[in-house]
Amino acid sequence: MTLVGDHSTGVPMRAEVEARDAADPLAHLRDRFHVPEGLIYLAGNSLGPAPLAVFDDMETALRQEWADGLVGSWNEAGWFALADRLGDRIGALIGAEAGQTVACDTTSVNVYKALHAGLSLRPGRTTIVAESGSFPTDLYVAEGVVAGRPDVTLLLEGVDGATLEELIGERTAVVLVNHVDYRTGALRDMAALTRRVHEAGAVVVWDLCHSAGILPVALDASNADLAVGCTYKYLNCGPGSPAFIYAAHRHHETLRQPLSGWWGHAAPFAFELGYRPDAGARRLLCGTQPILSMRALNAGLAAIEDVDMAEIRAKSLALTDLFMDLVREPCAAHGAEIVTPQAAAERGSQVSITHPDGYAIIQALIARGIVGDFRAPNLMRFGMAPAYLSYHDIHVAATALVEVLESESWRDPRFAARRAVT
């Protein structure tokens, strides 16, 4: 196969790419994942692949813990403590000291808790500020929160003001913001924005769905207040795997959230009549967690937690740079535009490209074994996960994209039909 770049100047050549793979300190991580033969998987920003260790873990969870251990496994297999133990391990990957993060529920439910917790920390303040370009569920949930709080208004960047900063003021209670934009891959400066929010006397809720596990996140060092995120993207913990929620130690005693179920009680098995929140991060829990899905988190976290996140970030930037370098000119020549910021400090780990026929182009790539994804109306997303992608993979994927664009093979009618869910 002739790869793009081989006959050009200024873009990497096959030999250069192979040399990078040979020198890659993370190359061995690929053996920890199941990536189907013949597939180059660039949709890990949507659903990460299965870590190999998950098969044995689930066998243990099913046969030893549930089938044989039965109800005793709540103690003996440590099921009840999974929310904290896994939470602390997620915390270690996002710059949170132990005791501040719990694994539970869904990102949407955790956004709901976090927004209410934020409001409880800033009584008397009357606005929640968010991004109109947020992943929609954050906004839908924020709508649900303000619908129950007639004293609170939801203000949106891009609707009520051009920038978040313009909307943050003395009335702001909570700023809900995505660390990495799910569409463009743009990365916010967590420390700077958190400082800005605090200067206004508000608290911030960081949505880490597209940054947890793929770049260094420094919640504690940034003095963040609250955070939520999912574990099924770059943390590779399984489809719809339980999410997480973080609250800084300093807020634990004060914060309240209305999903006050028994798992958040200070003494859940005392069966007291009244709710009394746990002193720590467990007050962010609500009901009994889905243990089989929770048990899959171990393998996902174990697959990357012994790696320096700075190394993952370095390779992530190198992979995204390589891809952008290879496709930039052909994209421009064929009506496609890279919308991911070019500066390393301003982007996460995906390359997003718009094209009016993006849906068909993604289908044409999938037919060639290159799996990216599409978001309406015109966005193609290519997630770059250093744990299971090589420079060669990226070279092949970029070549395929260029060929699909140049040959217009996406015009084949079989690539036109839209599926219900993408």
**Residues classed as catalytic:** 135, 207, 232-233, 381
What SS3 class is residue 17? helix
Question: Which tokens hold the place of 179?
Answer: 């660390």
Cβ proximity to a second copy: between 103 and 190 the closer is: 103
Cβ proximity to a second copy: between 111 and 401 the closer is: 111
- Known binder of ligand: residue 107? yes
Residue 375 binds a second copy, judged by CB under 8 A: yes
Tokens 């251990």, residue? Answer: 69
- Known binder of ligand: residue 354? no
* CA–CA dist 5, 344 (Å, integer): 22
Residue 201 binds a second copy, judged by CB under 8 A: no
- For the chain, first and last CA: distance in Å? 30
Residue 354 binds a second copy, judged by CB under 8 A: no
* CA–CA dist 247, 202 (Å, integer): 15
| Amino acid identity, position 187 | L
Q: Which of 147, 221, 310, 333 binds a second copy (CB under 8 A)?
A: 147
Residue 67 binds a second copy, judged by CB under 8 A: yes
What residues are paired with 51 via a beta bridge?
33
Is 93:301 a contact under the CB 8 Å cutoff?
A: yes
Q: Which of 8, 28, 63, 337 binds a second copy (CB under 8 A)?
A: 63
Work out the number of other CB atoms within 10 angstroms of the CB of residue 356.
11
| Residues between 40 and 59 with contacts to a second copy, criterion CB under 8 A | 41, 43, 46-47, 49-50, 54-55, 58
What one-character DSSP code corresponds to residue 48? Answer: P
Binding segment toward a second copy, per CB under 8 A, in 21-29, 99-107, 309-317, 390-398: 99-107
Q: Which of 174, 243, 248, 353 binds a second copy (CB under 8 A)?
A: 243
Residue 73 binds a second copy, judged by CB under 8 A: yes
Q: CA dihedral defined by 149, 153, 155, 159, rounded to 10 degrees?
A: 110
Cβ proximity to a second copy: between 53 and 318 the closer is: 53
Is 110:96 a contact under the CB 8 Å cutoff?
A: no
Q: Rounded to the nearest whole angstrom, what is the least distance from the CB of residue 49 to a second copy in the complex?
A: 6
Q: Which of 16, 25, 70, 408 binds a second copy (CB under 8 A)?
A: 70
| Residues between 253 and 272 with contacts to a second copy, criterion CB under 8 A | 256-265, 269-272
User: Can you state the angle between helices 391-407 and 309-333, rounded to 10 degrees?
Assistant: 20
Beta carbons within 8 Å of 220's beta carbon, 6+ residues apart:
95, 96, 97, 100, 248
Residue 371 binds a second copy, judged by CB under 8 A: yes
Q: Rounded to the nearest whole angstrom, what is the least distance from the CB of residue 282 to a second copy in the complex?
A: 13
> Where does residue 9 rank: exposed (0-12), middle (13-18), buried (19+ CB within 10 A)?
exposed
> Where does residue 36 rank: exposed (0-12), middle (13-18), buried (19+ CB within 10 A)?
exposed
| Residues between 205 and 234 with contacts to a second copy, criterion CB under 8 A | 230, 232
- Known binder of ligand: residue 262? yes
Binding segment toward a second copy, per CB under 8 A, in 2-10, 36-44, 212-220, 300-308: 36-44
- Known binder of ligand: residue 137? yes
Q: Which of 99, 280, 290, 369 binds a second copy (CB under 8 A)?
A: 290
H or E stretch at 41: strand 40-41
Question: Which tokens hold the place of 212?
Answer: 């947890």
Q: Which of 273, 343, 345, 417 binds a second copy (CB under 8 A)?
A: 273
Residue 367 binds a second copy, judged by CB under 8 A: no
H or E stretch at 174: strand 172-178
* CA–CA dist 134, 422 (Å, integer): 18
- Known binder of ligand: residue 135? yes
| Residues between 391 and 420 with contacts to a second copy, criterion CB under 8 A | 419-420
Q: Rounded to the nearest whole angstrom, what is the least distance from the CB of residue 164 to a second copy in the complex?
A: 16
Q: Could you list the residues known to form a binding site for pyridoxal 5'-phosphate, using ranges.
A: 107-108, 135-138, 207, 210, 232, 262, 288
